[in-house]
Chain A
């Protein structure tokens, strides 16, 4: 088995005839310099490079290639030679990567003449360097050894040659580049770049934490791992993605979206640089400091990253405090267990010591927690103002500058999440669009203290307002004509809370009232689900009748189950089951207690919806640790006209576009 070397490590060489195999992510130029016992380049001719590839006992390739085999005969080297440096450099001007940081890490293997492995070295950790001294063969006490060097040069080939002690390094580097260019002209096209053999499809998997127990457990938030979005994109757009779209004939299948090619083929704009903080302190956070192809995606990933960090740091704190408590209990018990020392100074000291140990540990846990909270709070302070309307709170200034968007955002904010340990810090609860499940706005009593004292009528009114705020937000963040809202208000009791939607003209039809209204809206949506499902199944989506609205649909159901007969309930359940996959979503504004007489028949309906509450309530679990987070609804601040104004713009844009 070949020894895998790390930087600086050496390994004895068994024989004098060797082969050095280099494989890199793209074409590289290989060369070698010789040195005497002091490491000096004694003669200017002691270098092998593409323009003059041959030395006694050594020959390198004339061309830049992704794979090299350099044959070395150590016996044939001049007597004065004690060192052989193997150099690699990226050719400039070939349109390839400009630094080793943009390619797969080069791998150097030293083998015997028959290919048996002696030592291997993967040159990792390179960034902006475009030339590197890969390995060094050296003679020590008459025996040859190989050492992994990995010394990179950001200044490129010229800087490396200069450092090797060559006179006129710049001219030589230019001559080498020229030889490579002419070599490339007569050679065949280089093989396609290897797709990252180094990462082997590994990525940090999201936590497989203990699943929440059914029944009493809080609703788990559907977790879209922040890196899935990036993972779903074509692999060809890795870090080495060309900045210009490749010619269409590059491969047998062109995977690019025909209309998005121009936009997506460009490399994403660089993330904002994080300013280094004062020494000893973490860097000051910046908005958008996460991976992603657009600022929106970066912010989304950053918010989920903050969510995860907050969940985990709180878990660390709670776990430490729990441990401190249980340890103190045990120690106090022990002090009491011995009847001889139960009373007296010894017991008092033991008890005092137990309390002191508890306080010490709890203090240290608190300090670590405060440190993390301070960092996350600072991050939240820069992230919140940077959020686009779909991610922003209603009181954010971006809503005052609202304009109807031209693209659907990747997510929408459905409220805020917080934990009791840090009342000041709130994490935006961002849900991916299109919605994967409907919403249930619970108008009934919850377990929280706030809802026990609240007036049921007030809760119901708040639930209606929350429904309007969420539906209005969904309408406002979608492009014109991409989102349609229907409302069922069988008793007409919800008319005041629906007013912003109906008055602005954002609803296409006024809220349906009475059993007939309920039946006709449900029939219309059921027909749409059936037709779209049929069309998708048969692949005939262009044959849909013209009256089928292709937009996403949201049905707000007030006062359930008033005005619902059995047939309407069945239709509603059908929509809940089949709707989400074809873009029809439910938003139930309901008190589950009022639908009690239907029995367990409706349980699957409630379970399929994401429950949110009009008053703060701790019923949502994070996907990593399972804390119960307090959900705060995104109600429009009292007296604010931001929602009506946004909806007015939506209606106005719809009229202008004639949709």
Chain B
């Protein structure tokens, strides 16, 4: 049932009953680094960060990330920064909730990215994934397994963009390098 989208594949966020999506959630999960035996404090924690960049035309208008948890208009909310990861059991460790109905009219694209803030590449992180979920029924729209993704520290995951009256999602899955979303901006621009 998990839609493992291939790169560049677009799916319309129309529900089977014809209604469009109203809320989506980007989830990011990964497994915490194993504890060091003695000085556990000095475990090299793995900190992945989920961000959402809101574009109007080609121009970034707002961004939701760990330093700015709610977009100014309130439509996109980050549930809080997780600095260490989780159990690696498939649960989301960071989530960004998007209320598509409340997104301001001039915002036409929202790009979701994942960055490794602590610098580990996806090859070193266990059980890392990111996914896009229809928040109304919990259905997964897209899922990427980040683990084994090679020597990259960032991924531009997907974009949700306006299509007619509704929204459409395009899976991007572009690997990149960068500590925060700012480093990714040059890579995002050609994908808009």
Residues of A within 8 A of B (CB): 1-4, 6-10, 117, 120, 124-125, 202-210, 308-309, 312-313, 315-317, 319-320, 323-324, 327, 361, 364-365, 368, 624-625
CB contact list, B30-72 vs A, under 8 A = 56-57, 59, 61-62, 67-70, 72
Bound form: Cα–Cα A368–B103 in Å: 10
State which of A4, A209, A308 has its C-beta within 8 Å of the C-beta of B90. Answer: A4
Question: Is there contact, CB below 8 Å, between B1 and A6?
Answer: yes
Given the contacts A319-B62, A365-B104, A1 and B72 also touching, CB distance less than 8 Å? no
Question: Is there contact, CB below 8 Å, between A365 and B105?
Answer: yes
Closest chain B residue to A372, Cβ basis: B102
Question: Is there contact, CB below 8 Å, between B74 and A313?
Answer: yes
Question: Is there contact, CB below 8 Å, between B79 and A316?
Answer: no
CB contact list, B68-88 vs A, under 8 A = 68-70, 72-75, 77, 79-80, 88
Bound form: Cα–Cα A308–B70 in Å: 11
Number of A-B contacts (CB under 8 A): 95
Chain A residues near B79: list those with CB within 8 A. Answer: 202-205
* B16 at the binding interface (Cβ < 8 Å): no
State which of B61, B67, B89 has its C-beta within 8 Å of the C-beta of A323. Answer: B61
Residues of B within 8 A of A (CB): 1, 56-57, 59, 61-62, 67-70, 72-75, 77, 79-80, 88-91, 102, 104-106, 127, 138-140
Question: Is there contact, CB below 8 Å, between A624 and B72?
Answer: yes
Question: Is there contact, CB below 8 Å, between A316 and B61?
Answer: no
Closest chain A residue to B126, Cβ basis: A1
Closest chain A residue to B75, Cβ basis: A316
Chain B residues near A6: list those with CB within 8 A. Answer: 1, 138-140
Chain A residues near B1: list those with CB within 8 A. Answer: 6, 8-10
Question: Is there contact, CB below 8 Å, between B56 and A323?
Answer: yes
Chain A residues near B138: list those with CB within 8 A. Answer: 6-7, 124-125
Bound form: Cα–Cα A323–B73 in Å: 14
The 5 closest A-B CB pairs, nearest first, are A4-B90, A312-B74, A316-B73, A316-B104, A315-B72
Given the contacts A4-B90, A319-B73, A361 and B106 also touching, CB distance less than 8 Å? yes
Bound form: Cα–Cα A1–B89 in Å: 7
State which of A3, A205, A365, A368 has its C-beta within 8 Å of the C-beta of B80. Answer: A205
Question: Is there contact, CB below 8 Å, between B69 and A327?
Answer: no
Question: Is there contact, CB below 8 Å, between B72 and A2?
Answer: no
Bound form: Cα–Cα A478–B74 in Å: 36
Bound form: Cα–Cα A502–B79 in Å: 52
Chain A residues near B61: list those with CB within 8 A. Answer: 319, 323
Q: Could you list some 9 contacts between A and B, CB below 8 A?
A: A3-B90, A9-B1, A203-B80, A205-B79, A309-B74, A316-B102, A316-B104, A323-B106, A361-B106
Chain B residues near A10: list those with CB within 8 A. Answer: 1
State which of B70, B75, B105, B140 has its C-beta within 8 Å of the C-beta of A364. Answer: B105
